[in-house]
A and B are shown apart, each in its own frame.
Chain A
């Protein structure tokens, strides 16, 4: 129980701050395909997506890193009743676009993904691959301007012989280069060689939703690759070597996802976590806190730190107690080393409470 309390003035002694803690998340491509012989890839009987782990998922140490799926809008020329898993591919597209972009027009039509920030239903991406990152890794949000997805666009046999890096080059943490939608802010994934001066469809190949942690890749990334998918891993029917569009039609969702993983070279981004803090400036005025109720402060009815009666009293502050309005102790802050307080000095101790 302290001898006296020093009231905190809510206007001058208490303030709040926000700190951003980031993490660099590098994901090596071989983890996604190769290293673990797909023991870290979980496919489900519904066949609507596959989950990628950072270690064989039967181990309790494995962490889920992202889900992978693909789909197209019903207005896509690929949509056909004869396409493999046609309705599931349409439903997946609609589900993601509805959650991330919402509706448009008086008829409440689900918006289409766009390769620009205009949200005017032009530049639509109707055939897409969707990567939904784990909240464990994205935390509060993906940091704008840090996404880098490197994909192999060579032949099936040597996909890394030619690569493309998709980056959110135009996005910044101040909101530039992003647009806000119902699914949060999103930025455009450009070919890293693109000139930012021209936001042309030829250089933008997808979108990244920062708060939702979802990346949308357009089919344009793989345009011109005759053997995007090898027949050996295709679960559906069709020719042995498939272009991206053919794979989206003929292969199962997991088959197309397998092919995309085969072409994943590297993936990295930074995440952000907001740490909110309250800072209490605990002031020790010149004429206060010069006595201690610690039993060791006195010895034989004399103050231990005074040698002569004329000496100034002194205390060593070791702990700051924070009390509520009813003088109930609610928290203590410990100093790394005691601070000397005398009637000749004033101290302000800055106590930060993170939550």
Chain B
């Protein structure tokens, strides 16, 4: 068997960028990812076992389908289960490799577990969108008390909403895209986000890939099933501009495309009817700061006013995924690759060995190649042609180890004078 070496222009590495559409529908404190319904099973109200904790979630591995109960691993690795269909749980033994679960902190791992102890955790591992409503002021801080003098400094202690504080640098950094990112600004009538109510929606990157595609974000506010407001980032600069509602053209918030975070500050009423959108049972008129109420934020039919189910929300955007693709051009030139090692390439019934003995081994030198040329007539055999049917292409590394095989959907007839190039793509 002969090998053909790839030339300098025969192997190309490309990146294929795709923008998968992602949709979340939020209703009555349930989140539906890409319109996937919540299925109930024989043992659990949600077979993915995630709606009790978080909803609209990715369930890594999707292991514990329709499970109910608990599984505990004891230090001697014996197992204690409860419930009618106990779940699968992973466990690990503490040893010198010091491998652990991420949920076990370094201090806990060092102090609370001896070598040989068993650490276990629970499935499912999930990721879901969450909403954080920062009210009455996103920049609110606790009072700082000097323990020696007893002096109290107002609004100088730990932040009430640390997520907002951690985003301040990023928000100011994106000011080059839009002034609306700025924490405080004199633009238009001016604002200071520290003093505003902020509605923050966090989207884990597993939903969107490397970044949210600018220009693809759409937020829709529904009241009793009717659209009362829509925001779009049509300028592709992160500004979420109202295109449907009572204040069209106004910017109600910004999108952090790389971080997967949406911040909404638009507090104008989208509808005059007040409804329950807060977890303390009070009511207020629909506005963008209440968008997504019920998204794993503690607002639910029990904690909110009975009118809460009249609100529903839709959030959609495109993600960005990048897939590296090897493209290889395998060339079978004129006069090349015209022989096959397939035993059926030779005529049937010929002796392979001419002579063999204790000191000699000679193969038959005049074995004939099977003529596979097609004749136009039923009773006539066509003249012999050197031709092969290419059915697969093997890729070898520099040490001639087989590392991949590309199989053609149909064998390709290659005659001696023909020149073929096979294009092989490999996603990595």
Write the residues of chain A forming the contact surface with B, with a CB cutoff of 8 angstroms. 17-26, 28, 30-31, 35-36, 54-55, 59, 61-63, 137, 146, 268, 270, 275, 277, 279, 336, 350, 352, 354
Given A24-B73, A26-B79, A61-B48, are A18 and B85 also a contact pair (CB < 8 Å)? no
User: Closest residue of chain A to B85, judged by CB?
Assistant: A28
> Would A55 and B65 count as touching, CB distance under 8 A?
yes
Given known contacts A26-B81, A59-B39, A18 and B97 CB-to-CB distance under 8 angstroms: yes
Known interface pairs A26-B71, A268-B79; A19-B99 also in contact (CB < 8 Å): yes
- Band of interface residues on B: 20 to 34
Give 8 nearest A-B pairs by CB, closest first: A17-B97, A19-B99, A19-B97, A28-B85, A55-B65, A23-B90, A35-B42, A26-B86
CA distance A279 to B48 in the complex (A): 36
- The answer to whether B236 has its CB under 8 Å from any CB of chain A is no
Residues of B within 8 A of A277 (CB): 97, 99
29 A-B Cβ contacts within 8 A?
Answer: A19-B95, A19-B97, A20-B92, A20-B93, A21-B99, A22-B77, A22-B91, A24-B73, A24-B89, A26-B81, A28-B86, A30-B84, A30-B85, A36-B42, A54-B65, A54-B66, A55-B47, A55-B66, A59-B39, A61-B39, A61-B48, A61-B65, A62-B65, A146-B77, A268-B79, A277-B97, A279-B97, A350-B98, A352-B98
B129 CB to closest chain A CB, in angstroms? Answer: 20
Q: Knowing A28-B86, A55-B47, A61-B47, say if A22 contacts B92 (CB, 8 Å).
A: yes
Cβ of B106 under 8 Å from chain A: yes
* B62 CB within 8 Å of chain A: yes
A-chain residues with CB within 8 Å of residue B48 when the two chains form the complex: 61
Tell me, in angstroms, the Cα distance from A35 to B17 when the chains sit together. Answer: 44
Residues of B within 8 Å of A26, CB to CB, are 71, 79, 81, 86-88
B274 CB to closest chain A CB (Å) equals 40
Bound form: Cα–Cα A30–B106 in Å: 41
Q: Give the distance to chain B from A207, nearest Cβ to Cβ, in Å.
A: 23
Residues of chain A lying within 8 A (CB to CB) of residue B42:
35-36
Kindly state whether residue B63 has any CB partner on chain A within 8 Å: yes
Q: Is the CB of B85 within 8 A of A31?
A: yes
Question: Is there a chain A Cβ closer than 8 Å to B96's Cβ?
Answer: yes
Closest B residue to A22 using CB positions:
B91
How far is B91's CA from A146's CA once the two chains are assembled, in angstroms?
Answer: 14
Q: Which residue of B lies closest to A266 (CB)?
A: B81
Given A20-B93, A22-B91, A24-B88, decide whether A275 and B62 contact each other with a Cβ distance below 8 A.
no
CB of A273, distance to nearest CB on chain B (Å): 9
Q: Does B41 contact A (CB under 8 A)?
A: yes
In whole angstroms, what is the CA distance A114 to B78 when docked? 29
Given A19-B97, A277-B97, 19 more pairs with CB closer than 8 A: A19-B99, A22-B91, A23-B88, A23-B89, A23-B90, A26-B88, A28-B84, A35-B42, A55-B41, A55-B47, A59-B47, A61-B65, A137-B88, A268-B79, A270-B77, A275-B99, A336-B106, A350-B98, A354-B99
Taking chain B's interface residues, is the majority helix, strand, or loop, or is none over half, making it mixed? loop
Of A30, A55, A350, the most chain B CB neighbours within 10 A belong to: A55
- Give every chain A residue within 8 A of B39 (Cβ-Cβ): 59, 61
Task: Say yes or no: B41 contacts A24, CB within 8 Å.
Answer: no
**CB atoms of A22 and B65 under 8 A apart:** no
Least CB distance from A30 to B in Å reads 7
> What A residues does B93 contact at CB under 8 A?
20
Q: How far is the CA of A268 from the CA of B86 in the complex (A)?
A: 11
Task: Give complex CA distance A36, B88 in Å.
Answer: 19
Is B62 a contact partner of A61 (Cβ separation < 8 A)? yes
**Cβ–Cβ contact A22 & B90, under 8 A:** yes
Residues of B within 8 A of A146 (CB): 77
B62 in contact with A63 (CB, 8 Å): yes
The distance from the CB of A347 to the nearest CB of chain B, in whole angstroms, is 16
**Which residues in B have their C-beta under 8 angstroms from that of A61?**
39, 47-48, 62, 65
Which of B48, B66, B73, B89 is packed against the most chain A CB atoms within 10 Å?
B66
- A352–B62 alpha-carbon span in the complex (Å): 28
A30 neighbours in B (Cβ, 8 Å): 84-85
Q: A36-B42, A62-B65, A63-B62 are in contact. Are A19 and B81 (CB under 8 A)?
A: no
In angstroms, Cα B93 to Cα A276, docked, is 15
By a CB distance below 8 angstroms, the chain B residues around A279 are: 97
Query: How far, in whole Å, are A270 and B99 apart by their CA atoms in the complex?
Result: 19
Q: How far is the CA of A31 from the CA of B84 in the complex (A)?
A: 10
Minimum distance in angstroms from A346 CB to a CB of chain B: 20
Q: Which residues of A contact B73 (CB under 8 A)?
A: 24
Interface residues of B in 75-119 (CB under 8 A from A): 77, 79, 81, 84-93, 95-99, 106
